[in-house]
Amino acid sequence: MASLVRMARNLFSSSFYSHLLKDRAVAQPATKAIQNAVSQPLSVVRNNITQQIKSKLRSEKQLFFTSSASLFKGYNFRNRRLPVTKAREAYATQNTAVELALNSVVKVFTVSCSPNYLLPWQNKSQRETMGSGFVILGRKILTNAHVVADHTFVLVRKHGCPTKYRAEVKAVGHECDLAILTIESEEFWDGMNPLELGDVPFLQDAVAVVGYPQGGDNISVTKGVVSRVEPTQYVHGASQLMAIQIDAAINPGNSGGPAIMSNKVAGVAFQNLSGAENIGYIIPVPVIKHFISGVEENGKYIGFCSLGLSCQTTENVHLRNHFSMRPDKTGVIVSKINPLSDAYKILKKDDIILSFDGVLLANDGTVPFRNRERITFDHLVSMKKPNEKAIVRVLRDGQEHEFSIILQPIQPLVPVHQFDKLPSYYIFAGLVFVPLTQPYLHEYGEDWYNTSPRRLCERALRELPKKANQQLVILSQVLMDDINAGYERLAELQVLKVNGTEIDNLKHLRQLVQSCNAEFLRIDLDDERVIVLNYEMAKCATSSILKRHRIPSSVSIDLDTE
């Protein structure tokens, strides 16, 4: 008998039958069928047990069919009722997503050409990429910024249509990884329907990601549920903004496609978690609306606001006592303030931010968000519009103060990305000067943090600007010639002064070099290094060096037109 029971359990090892056999009312007829089937074939035993289970459940009206051939898995035996399950919601969401996607979601074909930052007068090889997008109000197509980054040519194809239509990139927000495309062809818009933006989904809400992932050419729908909502690192723009984590696979090609909940867009698919399975991220509607409204109000993308602060949590009790924080007060300590921010004129180091626009900050820097969720207060800052004021309450020397601070997008001293623009450079006597950017450091490979010059890397990640339009200018390389012999080992050092004058940026360096009226040109570098050239001889050598290395111009277009 024990062997027959084990045999029956092996036969019905699926999740459905395992749940049924745990219920006594269902297990008894199954056991009886086993006892009466000692000499019967295996297939007959299985059929008899199945019929006994079905008969028992029908008599108690506890059986629910999802189709004529399958049993519904969400039966609740304890409460003896049929709840509306996540499976049914996901199924309905997927069907709705398919219907909406057929006349809204498009495939985006991009031809791009990225610059070579080590040889800034050259471009890298042309490459072709594909992504997804969808139609929104105003005859626009919304997609990801990384789908069209460094584009030279963009085409769009509708579902079920063999024709590709030329598209123009109207606006790009690399921080939020969003872009807007426009198409002039009237033929393209025939039959196309815009999708409506919805709200931020709650945990365990079902969504369907629609797009054109790799592995095929037709439209694809992947279903999943929301597992987390919190600020996340946007890989493309290296910014920290709100994102929604879902358990649906988001593969290359899915980028830019909508995540649909019911009949509205819950977000835009844009990245996945490397090294993990079925962990994808979508850009939520608040970030999308902030991007679109900014483009509509200003005619171009202007960025997300920042307080310009670096803060430390106050979770340690001794730290709170040192700053005279009463037990009923919570907040974070101001560590650094960007000199270009409005907060630099108002706040001080060691100020403790207690609240932002009336919302209390916890000691870990989070604020309440929806139903018992928490989110970092940076989200409240990023959702403010440029030039909008925020009320910040701080604790300073044991006394509370309330300040009004104007918020603005703040650019770092060393740009994090340089998409859709050519790099700047200036060449004099074979000395190649460029502004320091993170894309320049990325040329050292995937492990650039460890392989790039350590001093430049640290400054790129931590140093703050002291004035507007400031750049860190470096001597990237030396194109060898008699005029610069002996200076080749001074590459990758920061340029500090030209003829005793501190430089502000690459444009300023060029002006100082061109306006030199002395016999010798002196360039002071980092690490107390110095370069001295005979100015007239250096000017003559520059043209021959350019010709030898087939460099079309000694200066980049952006500097030559200013």
User: 212: which residues sit within 8 A by CB, 6+ positions away?
Assistant: 105, 107, 130, 131, 132, 218, 219, 220, 253, 254, 257
Q: 192 exposed, middle or buried (CB, 10 Å; 0-12, 13-18, 19+)? A: middle
Alpha-carbon gap, residue 554 to 552, rounded angstroms? 7
Q: Is the dihedral of CA 345, 351, 357, 358 positive or negative?
A: negative
Alpha-carbon gap, residue 254 to 207, rounded angstroms? 14
426 three-state secondary structure: strand
User: How far, in Å, are 2, 24, 75, 188 from residue 34 at the CA level?
Assistant: 10, 15, 24, 64
Closest CA to 131 of 217, 212, 215: 212
Alpha-carbon gap, residue 469 to 494, rounded angstroms? 17
The angle formed by the CA atoms of residues 25, 29 and 34, to the nearest 5 degrees, is 140
Alpha-carbon gap, residue 74 to 72, rounded angstroms? 6
Q: What residues pair up with 181 in beta bridges, in sequence order? A: 141, 169
Token pair 């592995």 in the structure block, residue: 215
Active-site residue numbers? 146, 177, 255
Q: 158 exposed, middle or buried (CB, 10 Å; 0-12, 13-18, 19+)? A: buried
Closest CA to 421 of 285, 559, 327, 312: 559
Closest CA to 228 of 244, 249, 250: 244
The answer to whether residues 445 and 439 touch, using CB atoms and an 8 Å cutoff, is: no
Token pair 């100082």 in the structure block, residue: 512
What one-letter code names the amino acid at 278?
Answer: N
The answer to whether residues 195 and 258 touch, using CB atoms and an 8 Å cutoff, is: yes
